[in-house]
Structure 1
């Protein structure tokens, strides 16, 4: 059973999400939070598999709550799935940088919401290549200073760096395999090693690393 904590300041939405999740058969709610502070407290108490987190909440907002939860070593198994009003919400970048494993818009069909919870609970990032490319467009509008490749990337091999760069460009594992002439299994292995070496949670964080380190240029 996938244990889910719902964090949203609208009681009606929380109730709707709870009913959907509890009737799914393989997911169940372990609590509801109306503020970011409550979400952090309940995450610590309940240790859910997934926190369904609204971005905009009174007091501590969803991004701050996500940063707190994902930054707590004792909550390393907790994944955060952000809920936004629009798929290019101005806070999406900040949410991913804070440690969120992906995001969904609030009017996502019920089946897709449940699938998103399952994907994130399984340790994957809910960040499709098309969404990644839209995020890249957002990066392009931000001033990017010239930076050398930082020491953080010195531990990865040349092939792993190639894979990271392609992840940052928004390619799926299948597309990366075709681009580099590798098997899908080999690409998955490389992605897994990069995740471990860079000590990041998932693919969403790899995209952030690729851009913030300057490995990928927004001009590409």
Structure 2
């Protein structure tokens, strides 16, 4: 099964994620030398996001919906879209998306395709799951009309209708989802009343695409 086949282009309903916990994971390999100095390296170019959801789910109807979503994904078998409660825009969560939020590249007189990215300092994270209709693009600070570019919403690839001039800065703003999967093959629910229950925290983990 290819990566595309193992991913469902569906988003987890936001209300099922109320009360979620978000975290960022890095993998660092540390070797302590005989002199006491350390040598640190990482096999990961990018961090990996982890989430715990379900803490805010109390009604049996919502629990049933989450169970149905879990079943439809065959547990961890298929990935899906998730809106990170802390990191879902090209700008700060409190700001509005602008076409100049993120640098995508510079024109060379021939290139028309640019992948969406979000910068965290000097780390440029590829954005593969933008929200359709949210993407805004600018060339040298001038925002383009929606008809002047096309977006592949399943990969985050933007194609400009007109080739940018050499040296022209291409930027974009967007909302995006994080591709994740259920981390466990198991989902547990405790019945606490006739119409209420408690869901054991459900872990999600970001997947590479």
- TM-score scaled to structure 2, two decimals? 0.25
More helix by share: 1
More strand by share: 2
- TM-score scaled to structure 1, two decimals? 0.24
Q: Considering only CA atoms, is the larger Rg found in Structure 1 or Structure 2?
A: 2
Higher relative contact order (CA 8 A, sep 6+): 2
